[in-house]
Amino acid sequence: MQVDELTEPERVLWEAFPRGEPVDLSGGDDDFDSTNAWGPDRTVRAEVISALLLGAQDNEPGHVAAVRLTGARITGTLNLGHAHVNVPLALTACQLTDAPHLYWAQLRSVHFMRCRLPGLVASGARIDGHLWLEGSHIYGGVWLDSCRITGILNLTGAHLSHPTGDAPLLADRLIVDNNVYCDQGFTVEGEVRLPGAQVGGQLIFRGARLRNPKGQALYASRLSVSANVFCDGGFSAEGEIRLRGARIGGYLSLVGATVSHPGRTALNCDDLSIETDIYCSDGFRADGAVSLSGARVGGLLSLRGGRMKNPSGVALSLQRLQAEEVLLRPAEPIAGAVDMRYARIKLLRDDPLSWAPRYTLDGLTYDTIDPPLTAGQRLKWLDRDTDGYVPQPYERLADTYRTLGHDAERRAVLLAKQRRRRTTQTIPPRVWGYIQDWTVGYGYRPFLAGAWLVALLAFGTVIFQHHPAITEPGHNTRFNPFLYTLDLLLPVGSLGQEGEFAPAGVYLWIADALVTAGFLLGLTVAAGATRVLSRD
């Protein structure tokens, strides 16, 4: 490029480059919609900038060369594909007519701050420094797939869109060694793609607004973040937030966030692995399913003060979740089902006032539950299980009461388990179940057996005030109505009364009824004792 071919603003930039001096062509006007403000005195050809970055102008000793340009209209394509650029590029409040091409280039820090450009293609690029897109409006898509950034990626306040339907931000397998900022007014119309991306610091979407109601607002499966992820501070998303299989070295904050994908999955954290905590709390709202199936949480999963609804299906899935603690105390009852099948939780903390109408609890295990409540209250929780009778949730709750030393509550739960089981049986075992329940409470209410025995003894003692006929005259056994009744009731052994006296008429029927009652009472006591001893 010949120097004498340069326009006046290009010549100014050319001369400022060796010393890295800034060039401001804005005159204080950043109004991109003012067509009269972007005349020839503010226009620079992209090829001039490319030539400078690629060594057309020598560096001045003692200075760091750089392109630092403000308020310019840049025409043509800034094409640095496969180039090696050793100086920084900083464009501020510039308007670009074409998308810069930085694919597979090796660059120093690249800044497009408060710029307007129809896209940015940086697939496979390596940037030894920062990529700064703060406050820029990019309406043709940002391609950062397989890009490597050793510094910071800053998209704070950026507005991204892609009217053709492709993802406005495509960053598959992106690697950033430090923080990624997508906060403070970061707005996207379409899908943000970060599958397989690696972030060496924090990923910050604080206050961001993502909108893609027909699909994924944030697609970040297999994302790896070394520190924390912030989707809070007014964060909102229309469309699915997909973090399936992601790994987070710190905590995930969705405090006060709003995610919406009605009738479908709004937040997908299936198989997520997180070092510490997840906060879907303090104003968190989800219109659509929240799924943490198979997630591994090293600390706390907090749903305190959140609101979740998916009335036609599962609103919250904790299936196969592993967590140290789950704080399941939303601001109001979850509108929809809660799936907790095969979750493993050390401390489960909930609140009866915010229980969901439907649960699936088979395989759920927990070491401690807070508050433990009474058995009657906790059984109302188990009654909401949509799977019907499943023994494991009753066994788990009973074991918890045993650990706490609440033996009466434990027996009440196990009795309720047998009664619920009875509703699933055919008529013969169901009848036998009723007999066991009425007589000994399936072995968990042994005092009932004593009550029945006392009642039958009292009945027989009164009825047999006049002793039956002696079976063999000449015997001098003295009749005792109490001992005679007891002898009838005992299914084994003899007290010497039953064999000596023979009732007749209605008394024979009564005696036979007492023998039958004693036999049944003995069987139920034995069955109940066997059941209790086998559990203990």
**pTM across the whole model:** 0.82
Of the listed ranges 143-147, 369-373, 386-390, 519-523, the least confidently predicted one is 519-523
339 — pLDDT class (breaks 50, 70, 90):
very high
Residue 383's Cβ-count burial label (10 Å; 0-12, 13-18, 19+) is exposed
CA 285 to chain centre: 13
pLDDT tens, position by position, 343-379: 999 999 999 999 999 999 999 999 999 998 999 999 9
312 — pLDDT class (breaks 50, 70, 90):
very high
Please state, in angstroms and as integers, the Cα–Cα distance from residue 475 to each residue in 32, 120, 495, 503, following that order: 124, 116, 15, 16
pLDDT tens, position by position, 14-26: 999 999 999 999 8
- Is 60 exceeded by the pLDDT of residue 31? yes
Q: What pLDDT is stored for residue 50 in this prediction?
A: 96
Q: What pLDDT is stored for residue 196 in this prediction?
A: 97
Q: Verify cis geometry, omega within 30 degrees of 0, for the bond prior to 371.
A: yes
93 — pLDDT class (breaks 50, 70, 90):
very high
On whether the CB atoms of residues 269 and 242 are closer than 8 A, the answer is no
On whether the CB atoms of residues 189 and 211 are closer than 8 A, the answer is yes
Distance CA 235, CA 230 (A): 9
Higher pLDDT among residues 414 and 485, named by residue:
414
pLDDT tens, position by position, 271-297: 999 999 999 999 999 999 999 999 999
Q: What is the largest CA-CA distance in the chain?
A: 149
On whether the CB atoms of residues 74 and 97 are closer than 8 A, the answer is yes
Q: Verify cis geometry, omega within 30 degrees of 0, for the bond prior to 491.
A: no
Q: CA gyration radius for the chain?
A: 39
Average pLDDT over residues 433-451: 64
SS3 (DSSP) at 60: coil
Distance CA 144, CA 168 (A): 11
